[in-house]
Structure 1
Amino acid sequence: MSIPSFASELRVAVGRASRRIRAERGEAGLPDNQFSVLLWIEKRGPLTPGQLAELERIQPPSMTRTVNCLADDGLVSKGAHPTDGRAVVVSLTDQGRAEITETRRRRDTWLAARLENLTADEQAHLAAATEILRRLADS
């Protein structure tokens, strides 16, 4: 198989697997864009909507709507910015942390159940591919 054909097949397979895993959601059933915001705040700490918009590569008004939805659901809180009185800072609530934990648990459970159905050799191949895929993603 040529490299372009291999690249296309791999892209489709990884994309389908990723979509299937993302279909497993926590209690809130958040869309991917809202869950991604929770993950950014978990990783980086409290952020402004502008910073979140930059990280997600979307326009600030779209992020403001997303943050408002998350705040309405009790998953994030909005507080005063410590140095800029015009800005707000978005933080995770305990409910937001619980949603992240539950979504990860469901995704890991779904994938683990599929991995158990593979042969030991297939599991070993995927274990080796994991590091390679991580390197590709980080490049």
Structure 2
Amino acid sequence: MSNETLTTPTPSPADAGDHPDLSPAASQLRIATFRLARRMRTQRAVDSMSDGQFAVLAALRVHGAHTLGELAERERVSAPSMNRTVNCLQESGYIVRAADESDGRKVVISLTPDGEAVVEETARRRDAWVEASLAELTPAERGTIAAAAEIMQRMVDR
């Protein structure tokens, strides 16, 4: 994104002054957010790992062991799709499947130490990239980014 700031254009006649037309600002924010996310995703510990595979590892790290169905629901994919992802991660040694201690009919999926290491190293690399990028900004720009991060978090939490 350039050094331009997000601006709210003047209201259109259809808005009758009540609400400004936010479409241009929304598009600019969407594009910048996706480009930033894409750039951050390139910072990973395992280059061959897909974003979906890493998301499963991260979910297991943050939320603990899950069943296949719970993972599929969390990641909003079908159970067969999640099964393929889990199989690949298991073959790579990043996760294990085990019988649920409280219900032996269920199979829970959890991280291995290698899976933990991938999540930790990827987070470290992404944080380092963001930190280096922030270091190139002025203190005022860093303040603006910090304020925007808080606002964006509120948007996500709705």
1:22 equivalent to 2:54? Answer no
Does 1:129 pair with 2:138? no
Given the two structures, how large is their TM-score scaled by the length of structure 2?
Answer: 0.83
Q: Which has the higher contact order (CA 8 A, sep 6+)?
A: 1
Task: Look up the equivalent residue of 1:129 and give its one-letter code.
Answer: A
- Unaligned runs of 5+ residues in structure 1 are none
- The count of corresponding residues between Structure 1 and Structure 2 is 139
Structure with the higher fraction of residues in helix conformation = 1
Which whole-Å CA distance do the structure 2 matches of 1:48 and 1:115 have between them? 38
Moved more, 106-115 or 25-34: 25-34
Structure 1 position 82 matched with structure 2 position 82? no
* Runs ≥4 residues deviating over 6 A: none
State the partner residue of 1:61. 80
1:118 aligns with 2:118: no
Aligned: 1:50 with 2:43: no
CA distance in 1, matches of 2:40, 2:98: 33
Superposition CA RMSD, Å: 1.3
Identity %: 45
Q: Which runs of 5+ in 2 are unaligned?
A: 1-8, 10-20
Are 2:49 and 1:7 aligned? no
Indicate the structure (1 or 2) with the bigger Cα radius of gyration: 2
Give the alignment's TM-score, normalised by structure 1.
Answer: 0.94
